[in-house]
Amino acid sequence: MSNWPGRVNADYPQTRGRALFEEMDKFADLAHEAQALFIQALQHISDPTRASVLADEAMKKGLLFSEKLSFAIRRAIFDFTV
């Protein structure tokens, strides 16, 4: 079978599943940072400027986490690298 980008990896459950969870652990710190920044933003809600800066940073880290996680999942499921 050819190695085109849409081919599902037949070995996913045995090999890639474990690697995916190990890679997700790397992203846990990033998710916790985003969560902590968002909590700080809520705690500073009476200071809109400070709350906005914290919320923006939380969103940046949250989006980065989401992108890294989706890339890891895609790489684990499909037989291609980008």
The domain tally of the chain equals 1
- Phi, psi angles (nearest 5°) of residue 8: -75, 140
Confidence tier at 27 by pLDDT (50, 70, 90):
confident
pLDDT of residue 74: 82
What's the whole-model pTM score?
A: 0.66
Count CB neighbours of 72 within 10 A: 19
Looking at the domain assignment, is residue 37 inside a domain? yes
Looking at the domain assignment, is residue 41 inside a domain? yes
pLDDT in tens, 41-74: 999 999 999 999 999 999 999 999 999 888 888 8
> 46 is in which domain, residue-wise?
30-82
Looking at the domain assignment, is residue 52 inside a domain? yes
Count CB neighbours of 7 within 10 A: 12
Looking at the domain assignment, is residue 19 inside a domain? no
Mean of pLDDT values over 27-31 = 87
